[in-house]
Structure 1
Amino acid sequence: MMSLSALGRDLHSGQRSLNVIGLRKIFLGAAISVMLIAGLATAILGINPGIEFRGGSEFTVSNVSSTEQQPAYDALKSAGVEQGVRVSTVGTSAVRVQTQQLGDSDTYRVNEALAKAYGVSEADVTSTFIGPAWGSGVTQKALMSLGIFLLFVSLLMTIYFRNWRMAAAALFALMHDMFVLAGFFALTQIEVSPATVIGFLTILAYSLYDTVVVFDKVRELTKGYTAQYRFSFGELVNLAVNQTFVRSINTSVVALLPVTSILVIGTWLLGAGTLLDIALALFVGMIAGAFSSLFIAPPTLTWLHDRAKRGAEHNAAVQARRALQAEGSTEDKEHVATAAAVRVAPMQSGEHKGQKAQPRRKPRSKR
């Protein structure tokens, strides 16, 4: 079985090739379909905002012998509070209860009912209140942060690559990640907290970094590509994707390992708390970001390039040259048959070319 390092070496040299650009219609069609489904799910089901966004009252019952949630629902029902109730476990000895906005008298009754239901003193039941104005402010700041992030990303990508098509392709990949993450939280109805927003912005930066690495290789291989007619722009982009494929996979796996650990710890040991909020956003976003950097951003860049006059003319010139060579000698036909497999990587160090390739010394003249 081929090792990952051997696969990466073959992909880098062109001995093996993943036809990502050749299948760009499939990848872009799948991306657009996923974005439409995620958008519909978000519009129909909506996002489940946490108490920090919607406002309300929160109670924490500590030092409980059992973290079952049903006693909390029964206690709130006996206190006359049944709407907007959400109960979750915090760690191994605490229960968190969230309700709609309650007055002082209702808060006191809920405190007393929860203490009685779990067999703890009223001092072990703490309550906090979050007003709607504060939640609205958090929502506005989160949306403002997202807008500023996308604006600066657009400017940075355009200035860094000096190519607006690369910036547009990177932004489309980011939009895909945003839709996937929003659709995931809409379908699962998991609460979105400020920690989730932090994870969301972190994922966008992570995905952008991965895309920049791929596009750096694209810029390196396509520099001055119009001076040659052996390979098209899309074939060179495909080689760039292959040369960065294993690196992107390794980076994603290494990043997912601690996130998975946090996700497991947050779910099974600490309960549905802040760790679970941010870990889920990171876990789903990293997978979506790794996919979009390899299979969405490069095909989008190639599609934009091929629609331009310069790109279309160069592609036509490459195809015309290959057609002429196909009608020529056997050597030319073999060249055309292998032209799609772009092999531009240098020879491996230490490789022997054979005796015929060694320099020959001129014989010394005999006196």
Structure 2
Amino acid sequence: MINFAQFGNDLYTGRRSIEFIKRQKTWYAISGVLVVLALVGIFVKGLNFGIEFSGGSEFRVQGVSNSQGYEQKAQTAVNEAGIGGNVVATIVGQDTVRVQTEAASEKTNEAKTALAEAFGVPAGQVSSSLIGPSWGETVSQQAIRGLIVFLILVTLVMALYFRTWKMAVAGLVALLHDLVITVGIYALFGFEITPSSMIGFLTILGYSLYDTVVVFDKVRENTAEAFRTKRMTYSAAANLAVNQTLVRSINTTVVALLPIAAILVVGFTALGPGTLLDLALALFIGIGVGAYSSIFIATPLLVDLRRNEPAVKALDKYVARHAKEAAVAGVDTREPAIVGADGAAVVEGQQAVSPAEAGYRPVHKYAQAGPRNQPKRAPKSKR
């Protein structure tokens, strides 16, 4: 049985390590396939925009006691009223049928009467509303404008905070990666895009950015220590940072997804289509994709962007040369130093050393643990 607490502690101290950086081509390939499928869904199959964006008429039939075959009943009733085009019928709540059609301003009364007869309810229990496409177009323009402003501000803030534009670029690519895949999933499965979905798309960008910044902050800390001590390469320090934040990212993602999953279950089984369900669906897909990109895409991409920098290349050469010299001298640089039982610190003499640093301290492979054998001093009377 796996001890997850010990496993997480081993990842943090460096006793165990998952090679996120060395396998970056695998992660890139997986993301490449997902992005291509998403683009095929968006540009070939197309997006299923709700009535708020395309415009049309919406009828709600309340008090329906028998909803069996409701789609066919709605289609037949609308056609009898002289309204053509595609008809979308869904169950809302326990006894309400929502019917969406093309704009039918002149034949609204005929459609209400036909729907009332088809579902066996009084005409007064059928409501109608006409939605013009201009409202959805305005919402789309505002959303796109907000997205552009958000991405520009994110790039500037990350570049200033991390003092390198390459971290900002890596974070920006991860955000776009999340957005494209999320929208592509909507296109491939035919999920309806509503204003609530648009809000969800923008919300997941904030979540993904937060998770990426947490990982990058640890990357900055570890790589700064690597440049100072010259005990690790830049990629090794970055890989250690991802391992150290892995458990936290998983826990945060699971905690965020559980209540959203509960909303989805209740929405699909009881509530039916609505604002809450649309928002929850976008968040569930986006948070999952965002967690993936923070771990598998953002940091490997950052390492690739910085790989050819003179300082990074000099550090890698120094560490490789030191490892070669240590191997010739009989020093095993891969053996981790002794880590305290709590995994919080290592004490060498009077100096406390962090587990991340201790995990990479060179230790002579012939050294034996135990007290030092030092010569005893003679008593003062015999000196």
TM-score (norm 1): 0.90
The equivalent residue for 1:174 is 175
Quote the offset at 1:311 in angstroms. 1.9
> CA separation in 2, counterparts of 1:165 and 1:345?
36
The alignment partner of 2:49 has SS state of coil
Instruction: Please give the alpha-carbon distance, in whole angstroms, between the structure 2 residues aligned to 1:227 and 1:149.
Output: 35
**Match for 2:343: what amino acid?**
Q
Amino acid at match of 1:90: V
Match of 1:149 in 2: 150
Q: Which runs of 5+ in 1 are unaligned?
A: none
Instruction: Specify whether residues 282 and 345 from structure 1 end up closer, same or farther in structure 2 by C-alpha distance, changes over 3 A only.
Output: farther
Cα contact 1:14–1:344 (8 A) shared by 2:
no
8 A contact 1:206–1:289 mirrored in 2? yes
How many angstroms apart in 2 are the aligned matches of 1:345 and 1:156? 38
Further displaced range: 214-223 or 235-244: 214-223
Q: What's the CA shift string for 1:211-261, capped at 9, x where partnerless?
A: 111111111111153333321011001110011000100000000100000
Pairwise mapping of residues 260-339 of structure 1 onto structure 2 (< 5 A)? 260-326=261-327, 328-331=328-331, 334-335=332-333, 337-338=334-335
* Range with greater deviation from structure 2 (308-317 or 214-223): 308-317
Give, in whole Å, the separation in 1 of the partners of 2:160 and 2:251.
29
Percent of matched pairs sharing the same residue: 42
| Code of the aligned partner of 2:264 | L
Matched, 1:356 2:371: yes
> 1:252-298: per-residue Cα shift (whole Å, max 9, x none)?
00001000000001100011222221111111111101111111111
Where do 1:99-178 residues align within 5 Å? Answer: 99-104=101-106, 106-178=107-179
Matched-pair contact (CA < 8 Å) for 2:61–2:96: yes
Letter in 2 for 1:9: N
Structure 2 residue 87 is the aligned partner of structure 1 residue 88: no
Q: How many residues align?
A: 355
Preserved CA contact (<8 Å) 1:196 1:277: yes
* Matched AA of 1:188: F
CA distance in 1, matches of 2:337, 2:220: 16
Q: What letter matches 1:356 in structure 2? A: P
**Contact kept in structure 1, 2:159 and 2:168, CA below 8 Å:** yes
- Match of residue 72 from structure 1: 74
Partner AA of 1:233 in structure 2: Y
> Cα deviations across residues 30-63 of structure 1 (Å, max 9, x unaligned)?
2223212211221111111111111111111111
- 1:344 deviates by 9.3
Cα pair 1:236 1:342 within 8 Å, conserved: no
Distance 1:352 1:208, change over 3 A: closer
Scaled by the length of structure 2, what TM-score is found?
0.86
> In structure 2, what is the Cα distance between the partners aligned to 1:116 and 1:13?
71
Per the alignment, do residues 283 and 345 of structure 1 end up closer, same or farther by CA in structure 2, a change over 3 Å counting?
A: farther
Over residues 97-131 of structure 1, what are the superposed CA-to-partner deviations in whole Å (9 max), with x where a residue is unaligned?
Answer: 11111123x11111111111111111111111111
SS in 2 for 1:197: helix
What CA distance in whole angstroms lies between the structure 1 residues aligned with 2:232 and 2:301?
A: 19
Are the equivalent residues in 2 in contact too, given 1:14–1:345 (CA < 8 A)? no
Choose 150-159 or 179-188, whichever is displaced more.
150-159
Give distance in 1, aligned partners of 2:171 and 2:338: 26
Question: 1:55/1:344 Cα in 2 relative to 1: closer, same or farther (>3 Å)?
Answer: farther
Deviation at 1:309?
Answer: 2.9
Seen in structure 2, the aligned counterparts of structure 1 residues 81 and 12 have a Cα distance that, compared at 3 Å, is same
Higher RCO (C-alpha 8 Å, min separation 6): 1
C-alpha contact 2:116 2:123 (8 A) present in aligned 1: yes
Q: Hey, what's the Cα distance between the residues in 2 that align with 1:86 and 1:11?
A: 51
The CA distance in 2 between the partners of 1:97 and 1:342, in whole Å, is: 68
The answer to whether the Cα contact below 8 Å between 2:78 and 2:111 also exists between their aligned partners in 1 is yes
Q: Give, as a single letter, the amino acid of the residue that structure 1 aligns with 2:78.
A: L
Write out aligned runs for 1:171-320 (5 A): 171-320=172-321
The CA distance in 1 between the partners of 2:340 and 2:287, in whole Å, is: 29
| Residue matched to 2:52 | 52
Instruction: Confirm or deny that 1:12 pairs with 2:12.
Output: yes
* Residue 40 (structure 1) aligns with: 40
Task: Supply the distance in 2 between the matched residues of 1:245 and 1:60 (Cα, whole angstroms).
Answer: 47
Write the deviation string for residues 52-78 of structure 1: whole angstroms up to 9, x where unpaired. 111111111111112332211121121
Does the 8 Å CA contact 1:200/1:281 hold for their aligned counterparts? Answer: yes
Q: Note if contact 1:20-1:295 (Cα within 8 Å) is conserved in structure 2.
A: yes
Q: Distance in 2 between matches of 1:349 and 1:363?
A: 41
SS in 2 for 1:356: coil
